[in-house]
Structure 1
Amino acid sequence: MAATPSRLGWLDALRGPAALAVALHHSAWTFIPGVWGAVDGRIDVGTWGVFVFFMVSGYIIPASLERRGDVRAFWIGRAFRLLPLLLTAIVLALLLGCLGVFDLHPGLGLRPVPVVVLGNVTMLQELLGVPAVVNVMWTLSYEMAFYLLTVGLFAVRQARRSAAVAVALALAAVPLGILLPKALISGRADLLAVLLGGATLVAIVVTAWASGLKRRVAALSGGVLALVLVVLGSRIGAWQGLIILAVMFAGTAVHRAEQGTIRWRTAIGVVLTVLACGIFAKDDPGWAPALLLAVAFFFAAFALRHRRFPPVVTHLGVISFSLYLLHPLLLRPSPNLPLFFLVLVPLGLLTYHLIEAPAQRLGRRAAARARTPLST
């Protein structure tokens, strides 16, 4: 089957390898820890994969919002894109945990069920100090923070300032990371988690369903809450948390340069500033190479964006969310590394066609019916 040329097909060519890299990272530590320890000491392949995802999100998410011009349609689209598979993965994880073939976070049983549900269903658990049902969900918390910031900037007509935002976040990451090396929202802070998580959820709902000034205030409030959560609640620390956001906004700057709204030298300067501030964010020899190579891989694919990519690569990109979210569930049931991947890819295809694709179609129809411009 020949590859189908697509303006955004190169993004799928990035997502597929990124998802497999994260799956390889976790499965290799499970099945061949001795060998993988030597690899991980040189480059953290899992970190490489997630930073590729972050660059892709930064490039495409603001473009998607601005193309719609409608925050309600945006949030509806995101909900149908992420929640059906996420809820499926959570239910499967709980079932497998009960059967003893999946290791649930020990802290889950120590927190009130409503707090765990709020944290995991809003995908903000990483920033609220709430254990994740599936460990790889931590990246979704930063994706949500980025969505909230993007919508907030869009609401106050500052979306085009992504380059400045990326630089500001990167420069702030260093001193804040030194001053706040640990999350302040953590442990058993149930009431604080409910208040912050509930306030963020209310901000999203009001942004999506209110109009005029209320919508703008809610969108801006959501962006401010997202920034507060990343600074105070990042389990990995404010330095790494803010660098993740800066990397995503650097991806947006690349999109701006491609569209001609900023100069290429500005976009390159943004990326270099983010890298300079980010390479020392984690005291791990595999961190900096992973970050640098992720950005290099993104730019390599970007340079080839008008070329045809092999169908197998783009198809893996289409099912990348399934591969990413479901692979931890297979680690204990799988007897070895090859069989792990032989099961993972067909499972990803199955869940994409049975859950993701139908939900996305429903989401597009729901978003089209609910479309309302920001000015209303």
Structure 2
Amino acid sequence: MVRAVLPAADRPSPPQPKKPRENRLRALDGLRLIAALMVAAYHYGGRGGEVTQAWGTSAKAQFPTLHSWFAYGCLGVQVFFVISGFVICMSGWGRPLRSFFASRASRLLPSYWAAIIIVTLVFALPVVAYKTVSPSDTLVNLTMMQQPLGADRVLGVCWTLWAEVRFYALFALCVVLPGATRQRVIMFCAGWTLAAVLTQAANEPLLDLVLMPEYAPFFIGGIGLYLVHRDRHDAYAWGIVIVSWLIGQHQAVRGLWHAPNPDFFSYRTSFGIVLVVTFGFVAVAVIALGWLNRANWRWLTVAGALTYPFYLVHEHLGWVAIEAYHQKLDIPAYATLPLTVLTMLALAWLLNRFVEDPLTPRMRKMLSKPR
């Protein structure tokens, strides 16, 4: 029997996997800035009973009502981690390892190095009465490895970057290096979830350091939401998101809730903690589903660009600004707070314009160049 051969044009093409919608997710940039402002609100006014050098009193005395709301701002970090899971999965999909590494290093390092130098120099000024770290520890801080090495931190927020770096390493080795596929990403999420839970039960410090059980569900939930972005009907993706939210809210309550106690400088209800964690998951889910695609304003991209440098400099340099505005210029606390935020955003714009814009593409090109 002679088999009929269809012309190439008439042959049925193999089914193609669904592709994500290509709209720029500018709303995600806006959510980044919201998370950063949450953290800033916590640092500036959420430590209720702690007397700070910048204010001269406690935040509770300065913000009798708002300080209890600002206390939840520390959960902006968990929102960041959900966003990071989404973005890293998106940026690592279909990328070789060299390109992925170049993208991450060039994104993180220029502003980070600049922030280390700026904070060190400002704290060294005679008029700024804040303690500087030793020269040796300052140099170690340039590696982002200061925390595991036991060195003093120049930037208070750099502990979150250490968590991000460990996440990047896990994702690169398990997903980017062999090549990202839906099945591989699902297996990575399932394997990391189970391993993180077992690590917490085993109470093994090394595994805890690598697998980060307290933060893993937020990164994993973000990855699951990127799978939802690719295919909103993917039951496995939704399963990853739901399980991650269930574990994540537990980890957040476990780490941040305590019974009312005057010895602690802030207090949060367990319901409030769960609510903020839920907000992070739901906000990224709404963006992943495309429901905010109409929020396509260019200023959101600018907001996203300012978020990282703002996050780096806002805490320590913010204290310097608060002390100058509130104690030396006698500006009321409720005016000092927004003025400090605007000052840190202006500094973030300078870092973005004169550090990130020229150095990031050069570093990416240099690190991406094949040898």
TM-score (norm 1): 0.71
Consecutive unaligned residues of structure 2, counting only runs of 5 or more, are 1-21, 48-53, 259-266, 326-335
How far 1:16 sits from its partner (Å)?
0.9
Question: Using the alignment, how far apart are the partners of 1:124 and 1:245 within structure 2?
Answer: 20
Q: Call closer, same or farther: CA 1:230–1:291 in 2, change over 3 Å.
A: farther
- Secondary structure of residue in 1 paired with 2:102: helix
Q: Call closer, same or farther: CA 1:80–1:341 in 2, change over 3 Å.
A: same
How far 1:313 sits from its partner (Å)?
4.3
1:315-336: CA deviations, max 9, x gaps?
A: 2222101110111213223313
Hey, what does 1:201 align to over in structure 2? none
Q: Call closer, same or farther: CA 1:326–1:162 in 2, change over 3 Å.
A: same
Equivalent residue letter for 1:338: P
Hey, what does 2:276 align to over in structure 1? 293
Question: Using the alignment, how far apart are the partners of 1:320 and 1:78 within structure 2?
Answer: 16
CA contact (8 A) 2:221 2:281 kept: no
1:231-253: CA deviations, max 9, x gaps?
A: 6xxxxxxxxx4221221111101
Hey, what does 2:254 align to over in structure 1? 280
Equivalent residue letter for 1:84: P
Decide which moves more: 58-67 or 21-30.
21-30
2:94 pairs with 67, 71, 76, which one? 67
Equivalent residue letter for 1:248: F
Hey, what does 2:351 align to over in structure 1? 351
Equivalent residue letter for 2:159: W
Identity in percent: 26
1:49-85: CA deviations, max 9, x gaps?
A: 11111111111112212232x1112112222111111
Question: Using the alignment, how far apart are the partners of 1:10 and 1:273 within structure 2?
Answer: 25
Equivalent residue letter for 2:245: L
Hey, what does 1:332 align to over in structure 2? 320
How far 1:144 sits from its partner (Å)?
0.4
Equivalent residue letter for 2:313: L
How far 1:346 sits from its partner (Å)?
1.5
Question: Using the alignment, how far apart are the partners of 2:192 and 2:71 within structure 1?
Answer: 24
Decide which moves more: 10-19 or 288-297.
288-297
Question: Using the alignment, how far apart are the partners of 2:195 and 2:63 within structure 1?
Answer: 33
5 Å matches for 1:1-376?
6-28=23-45, 29=47, 30-31=54-55, 33-34=59-60, 35-36=62-63, 39=66, 41=68, 44-68=71-95, 70-100=96-126, 101=128, 103-104=130-131, 108-109=133-134, 113=136, 117-118=139-140, 120-154=141-175, 155=177, 158-172=184-198, 174-176=200-202, 179=203, 227=207, 229-230=209-210, 241-260=212-231, 263-278=236-251, 279-284=253-258, 285-286=267-268, 288=270, 289-290=272-273, 292-303=275-286, 304-328=291-315, 329-334=317-322, 335=325, 336-370=336-370
Consecutive unaligned residues of structure 1, counting only runs of 5 or more, are 185-224, 232-240
Q: Call closer, same or farther: CA 1:125–1:295 in 2, change over 3 Å.
A: farther
What RMSD, in angstroms, separates the aligned Cα atoms of the two structures? 3.1
CA contact (8 A) 2:32 2:304 kept: yes
Question: Using the alignment, how far apart are the partners of 1:76 and 1:131 within structure 2?
Answer: 27
Decide which moves more: 16-25 or 275-284.
275-284
CA contact (8 A) 1:85 1:356 kept: yes
1:160-184: CA deviations, max 9, x gaps?
A: 42331353255236425xx47xxx6
- Secondary structure of residue in 2 paired with 1:17: helix
Question: Using the alignment, how far apart are the partners of 1:94 and 1:287 within structure 2?
Answer: 37
Question: Using the alignment, how far apart are the partners of 2:69 and 2:339 within structure 1?
Answer: 26
Report how many residues are paired: 305
How far 1:229 sits from its partner (Å)?
3.0
- Secondary structure of residue in 1 paired with 2:321: coil
Question: Using the alignment, how far apart are the partners of 1:364 and 1:332 within structure 2?
Answer: 33
Q: Which has the higher contact order (CA 8 A, sep 6+)?
A: 1
Bigger-Rg structure (1/2): 2
Question: Using the alignment, how far apart are the partners of 2:281 and 2:300 within structure 1?
Answer: 15
CA contact (8 A) 2:215 2:248 kept: no
Question: Using the alignment, how far apart are the partners of 1:80 and 1:287 within structure 2?
Answer: 39
How far 1:309 sits from its partner (Å)?
5.0
Hey, what does 1:217 align to over in structure 2? none
How far 1:353 sits from its partner (Å)?
1.0
Hey, what does 2:330 align to over in structure 1? none
1:177-211: CA deviations, max 9, x gaps?
A: xx47xxx6xxxxxxxxxxxxxxxxxxxxxxxxxxx
Question: Using the alignment, how far apart are the partners of 2:63 and 2:273 within structure 1?
Answer: 15
- Secondary structure of residue in 1 paired with 2:144: coil
Choose between structure 1 and 2: higher helix proportion: 1
CA contact (8 A) 1:97 1:103 kept: yes
Q: Call closer, same or farther: CA 1:116–1:258 in 2, change over 3 Å.
A: same
